Structure 1
Amino acid sequence: MPRLAANLSMMYHEHAFLDRFAAAARDGFAGVEFLFPYEHAAVDIKSRLDDAALTQALFNAPPGDWAKGERGIASVPGRDDEFRRSIDTALDYARVLGNRKIHVMAGLVANEAAREAQRAQYVEQLAYAARTAAADGITVLIEPINPRDIPGYLLNRQDDAQAICAQVGAPNLQVQFDCYHCQIVEGDVTTKLKRDIARVGHIQVAGVPERHEPDRGELNTAWLLDVIDELGYEGWVGCEYRPRAGTSAGLDWARKWLAPRA
């Protein structure tokens, strides 16, 4: 049965960030993910995870200056040293929080003429990140993201992500398969899951096109979760969506896979 992880960056905004862990556990989630932990001490987050008996599934390595519009620095020229320090920072947090997956964002393409060079740098930096993370038994993830949500993002397609993983050749480099992004960019989500599942390290769901609860819209998420189960996927499925109203009130779609706790 698919294991659902609440994305605490998008869900439970009724609560302060550190209080979202307990709220997610009360609703029956056994795991959580979020974009970035770096505004809080790792030990404080770990305390909330332990108190709520939650597993940390995933977070992102530092993306550069998010407030200024940066969306990763792995492919950005001249940021090599900063990128490598960012991997060290992410691994420091992962050692405390216990997650075995870290998502490394690719970054934005300066212009189309720069795309090939940035892709080459991206491959080189991913090789470094995977090699460094392997010492801690951690898998590095890359995620194709649709250009509507992040215009100019380097990586948009599932087949390109799979090709990059093959080019790097590291066993601990896998693809983060977000069904929402895949549907917007290329569709045919079920077929791509079946084609690529061997190198999929994390899956995420959201309704398309509004990115609300995955209970309506272009994707049949209940069907996809059954397919994911049939494929033998044993990882987490992150619920990376913006609730229409209250988070808990909008979880009817997920009751089949959640077991509320006291």
Structure 2
Amino acid sequence: MTAFSANLGFLWSDLPLPEAIRAAARAGFDAVECHWPYAFDPAEVRAALDQTGLVMLGLNTNRGQPGQNGLAALPGQEVAARAEIDRAIAYAREIDCGAIHVMAGFASGAEAEATFIRNLTHACRAAPDLTFLIEPLNHRDAPGYFLTGSDQARDLITRAGLPNLRLMFDCYHLQIMEGDISCRLETLLPLIGHIQIAAVPDRGPPDQGELDYRHVIRLLRDLGWDRPLGAEYRPEGATEASLGWLQTLRA
């Protein structure tokens, strides 16, 4: 049976994070993940996780100032980028979260790539017990973002040579940018640290749209993937009303 993680950046986003964790447990999710938890006391988040028995799979580094979408690939922002990485590491350890998505930001070129690798090296060496994720984003939702494709991410991970650096494979973003999801999953699976799902093209519930997640889930089972899939979609209205897909895809 496939396990699913509720991404609380989108699901139950109207609730404080501890209450969103409890709502995800009541809905039958197997784990949770989030975007930016820093406004909430980590002790309260940890209490909600302990109460429900859910694990927080991942969180993001802060985006930076308004209009930014991460700092780690921005030349000249190394001090701020590493401060946010260190903040994320401290928070993750307080809530026993195993992975951190290091947000690159809006940048391009060789200097940005070198900056990103240096900051990722800082992260991976500062917390060898954690997994650090990089995620390609599509150019429609995040125009100008540094990381836009799976080949770019693979080459960067290979160049960095860091054992705890992995790819966040977001099927929504990569279907928009590249398509051929099945082949890319097969090829990139050894580098993947987490997989997220949502409908394409509108980022709705994953039982809608052009991408057949029943096929994707069967493929992942055949490939031996046994970790939760992150449901990172935007519900229309109340989250509870959007969850009809959960039992269908789980089965």
Which bin holds the TM-score, normalised by the shorter protein? Answer: over 0.9
Matched, 1:162 2:145: no
| Cα distance in 2 for residues equivalent to 1:241 and 1:170 | 30
For structure 1, list consecutive stretches of 5 or more residues without a partner in the other structure. Answer: none
Q: Structure 1 residues 191 and 39, CA, compared in 2 at 3 Å: closer, same or farther?
A: same
TM-score by length of 2: 0.95
Worse overlay, 9-18 or 120-129: 9-18
Which one of the candidate residues 123, 129, 132 is aligned to 2:123?
129
Higher relative contact order (CA 8 A, sep 6+): 1
Moved over 4 A (4+): 256-259
| Cα distance in 2 for residues equivalent to 1:257 and 1:219 | 13
Task: Answer whether contact 1:4 1:257 (CA < 8 A) is retained.
Answer: no
Task: Answer whether contact 1:138 1:172 (CA < 8 A) is retained.
Answer: yes
Matched, 1:181 2:173: yes
Structure 1 residues 183-229: Cα deviation after superposition (integer angstroms, max 9, x where no partner): 00010001100000001000000000110101111100121112112
Worse overlay, 244-253 or 95-104: 244-253
Aligned to 1:128, the other structure's residue is in SS state: helix
Residue 118 of structure 1: how far off its partner (Å): 0.8
Letter in 1 for 2:140: R
TM-score by length of 1: 0.92
Task: Answer whether contact 1:77 1:118 (CA < 8 A) is retained.
Answer: yes
Q: Show the counterpart of 2:72.
A: 74
Letter in 2 for 1:58: G
Kindly, what percent of the aligned residue pairs are identical? 38
Structure 1 residues 61-95: Cα deviation after superposition (integer angstroms, max 9, x where no partner): 12212xx1111101112111111111211111111
**Equivalenced residues, count:** 251
Q: Structure 1 residues 258 and 226, CA, compared in 2 at 3 Å: closer, same or farther?
A: closer
Matched, 1:118 2:116: no
Residue 258 of structure 1: how far off its partner (Å): 5.8
Task: Answer whether contact 1:76 1:107 (CA < 8 A) is retained.
Answer: yes
Task: Answer whether contact 1:133 1:140 (CA < 8 A) is retained.
Answer: no
Residue 256 of structure 1: how far off its partner (Å): 4.3
Letter in 2 for 1:192: R
Structure 1 residues 239-261: Cα deviation after superposition (integer angstroms, max 9, x where no partner): 000112321222121114669xx
Provide the aligned C-alpha RMSD in A: 1.5
Matched, 1:196 2:198: no
Aligned to 1:64, the other structure's residue is in SS state: coil
| Cα distance in 2 for residues equivalent to 1:226 and 1:244 | 27
Aligned to 2:127, the other structure's residue is in SS state: helix
Aligned to 2:100, the other structure's residue is in SS state: strand
Which one of the candidate residues 151, 171, 192 is aligned to 2:163?
171
| Cα distance in 1 for residues equivalent to 2:13 and 2:84 | 27
